[in-house]
Amino acid sequence: MAESFEIILSELGALEGAFKSESDEVKGPQALEEIRIKYLGRKGSVAQYFKKMGSVSTADKPKLGNTLNKLKDEFQTEIDRIQVSLQTKSEDNGFIDLTLPGTPPQVGYRNPLMLVMDEIKEIFSSMGFSTETGPLVETEFYNFEALNVPADHPSRDLQDTFYLENDLLLRTHTSPVQIRTMQKQKPPVRIIALGRCFRKDTPDASHSPEFHQCEGLVVDKGIAFSHLKGTLLAFARKLFGPNIQVRFRPSFFPFTEPSAEYDFSCIICSGKGCRTCKKTGWLEISGAGMVDPAVFGYVDYDAEIYTGFAWGMGIERIAMMKYGIDDIRHFYENDFRFLKQF
Ligand code: DAH
């Protein structure tokens, strides 16, 4: 007598359910292989049902064959899927190759200007200087007038200075910190002032409307130009090495008398002459001089008793020399490829 195809179909439904719940529980490759043998092995459940092909009616034979083939494919696909997921899990969690390099977390980098400013601070601190700061938004009094810069001086021009409302401006140098320090402190004074300054410059390889300066100021009894020379030489040698020379050339600044510009011997060719120093052997740094007695007048220091020296310095210029950077705009572009080199 032919077996009922309907009964076989419902048995196959139960078999499918059993396979699903067992395969869902599989924890490892061993258990998965056991399931494969149980359902798809030579003597497994599906094979047993194929044997029943002989006992169903001729009309049901192709239907049973079809159903069993589909079921076999379905079981096989599921077993393959589980096998892949077990493998991935074991790679993730099971085996850790400690010899492989790790993935370092992405960290930020300090702008080389900050590194140079830290170094400058440290050098001057070791020479007994403290670091003062001042506001970026200044008054005309601190930025120009108290520094003895006359009203018709070109640096006061609209072309050069960013003026704001109410007689305020963006400071064009760190020199106003001299005045602020002397107003609140009696001599002796030994300070540097580091920070941002602004001028209406069109950006190119050596100009930026935003830049940084280091201002220095020493005031005491008996301070002479030789102290200025000694201070800058000691600084230059700590920063660039023991063979650096410093030279002074006569110049003019409203806040110093006498005034000078100072150069460091070229750090690339040690003064022999190369492309960087345009064959002169010297690199221009900035200005310096003895504090003009007129400046002391603005802060109530007695110029008969005290003398002092001051100097300026461009941080970008120092950083460019130190790291061999050829374009000032790199400092302000925040390009990760540039920053990560320092
Ligand atoms: N303030 C000047 C500038 O921005 C630099 C400078 C020159 C500062 C001479 C000084 C100095 O203290 O004595 O160009």
The answer as to whether 174 is a domain residue is: yes
| Ligand 1 atom at minimum distance from 173 CA | 4
Q: In this structure, how many other beta carbons lie within 10 angstroms of the beta carbon of residue 266?
A: 23
**Minimum-distance ligand 1 atom for the alpha carbon of 178:** 12
pLDDT at 290: 98
Q: pLDDT tens across 72-129, in order?
A: 999 999 999 999 888 877 666 667 778 888 888 888 889 999 999 999 999 999 999 9
Best of 148, 153, 169, 173 to mutate for ligand 1, by most ligand atoms within 8 A of CB?
A: 173
Q: Is the pLDDT of residue 250 over 60?
A: yes
Do the Cβ atoms of 233 and 264 come closer than 8 Å? no
Given this model, what pLDDT does residue 229 score?
Answer: 98
pLDDT at 158: 84
Residues 217 and 331 in one domain: yes
* Statement to judge: residues 278 and 145 lie in one domain: yes
Question: Are 26 and 125 part of one and the same domain?
Answer: no
* Residue 101 within any structural domain of the chain: no
Calpha distance 74→76 (Å, rounded): 5
In a domain, 215, yes or no: yes
For atom 6 of ligand 1, which residue has the closest CA?
A: 312
Overall average pLDDT of the 38-56 stretch: 93
CA 37, distance to chain mean position in Å, is 59
**What is the number of domains present in the chain?**
2
Domain shared by 212 and 302, yes or no: yes
Q: Which range (151-160, 171-180, 257-266) has the least confidence?
A: 151-160
Q: Per the domain annotation, does 200 fall within a domain?
A: yes
Q: Closest Cα to residue 64, out of 82, 73, 51? A: 51
Instruction: Determine the pLDDT at residue 199.
Output: 97
* 300 CA → ligand 1 middle, Å: 21
312 lines ligand 1 (CB under 6 A): yes
> Is residue 106 situated within a structural domain?
no
The answer, yes or no, to whether residue 38 has pLDDT greater than 80, is yes
Please tell me what DSSP assigns to residue 224. -
Chain centroid, CA 197 distance in Å: 21
Give percent above pLDDT 90 in the chain: 81
DSSP states of 131-170: EE---SEEEHHHHTGGGT--TT-GGGSTTTS-B-STTEEE
Distance from Cα 84 to the centre of ligand 1, integer Å: 72
Last residue of a domain, one of 92, 123, 148: 92
pTM above 0.75, yes or no: no
pLDDT, residue 45, reads 95
Q: What is the pLDDT of residues 266-299, one digit of tens each?
A: 998 999 999 889 999 999 999 999 999 999 999 9
Q: How far is the CA of 192 from the centre of ligand 1 (A)?
A: 12
In a shared domain, residues 129 and 68 = no
User: pLDDT-derived band of residue 1, with 50, 70 and 90 as boundaries?
Assistant: low
Q: How far apart are CA 209 and CA 102, in angstroms?
A: 42
Does 256 contact ligand 1 (Cβ within 6 A)? yes
pLDDT-based confidence at residue 316 (cuts at 50, 70, 90) = very high
- In this structure, the answer to whether residues 148 and 66 fall within a common structural domain is no
Same structural domain, 65 and 198: no
Closest CA to 146 of 261, 291, 258, 288: 291
Are residues 126 and 270 located together in one domain of the fold? Answer: yes
pLDDT tens-place string over residues 180-235: 999 999 999 999 999 999 999 999 999 999 999 999 999 999 999 999 999 999 99
For residue 169, give the CATH number of its domain.
3.30.930.10
Count Cβ atoms within 10 A of the Cβ of residue 277 and give its class: 0-12 exposed, 13-18 middle, 19 or more buried. buried
Q: Are residues 57 and 191 in the same domain?
A: no
pLDDT surpasses 90 at 131: yes
Residue 100 lies in a domain: no
Average pLDDT over residues 157-177: 94
- Residue whose CB lies within 8 A of the most ligand 1 atoms, among 143, 172, 175, for a mutation test: 175
Task: Pick 167 or 261 by higher pLDDT.
Answer: 261
Tens-place pLDDT, residues 53-83: 888 999 999 999 999 999 999 999 999 999 9
Q: Which of 64, 92, 120 is the last residue of a domain?
A: 92
Average pLDDT for the chain: 94
Is the residue at 99 inside a domain? no
Q: Kindly state the tokens that stand for 276.
A: 């960087």
168 and 84 in a common domain? no
Same domain, 209 and 250: yes
Q: Could you give the angle at the alpha carbon of 73 between the alpha carbons of 68 and 79, nearest 5°? A: 125
Dist. CA 97–CA 41, nearest whole Å: 36
271 dihedral zone (left: phi>0; alpha: psi -120 to 50; beta): left
Domain boundary among 92, 125, 153: 92
Same domain, 84 and 141: no
**Domain extent at residue 145:** 112-339
Residue 52 belongs to some domain of the structure: yes
Amino acid 85: pLDDT = 86
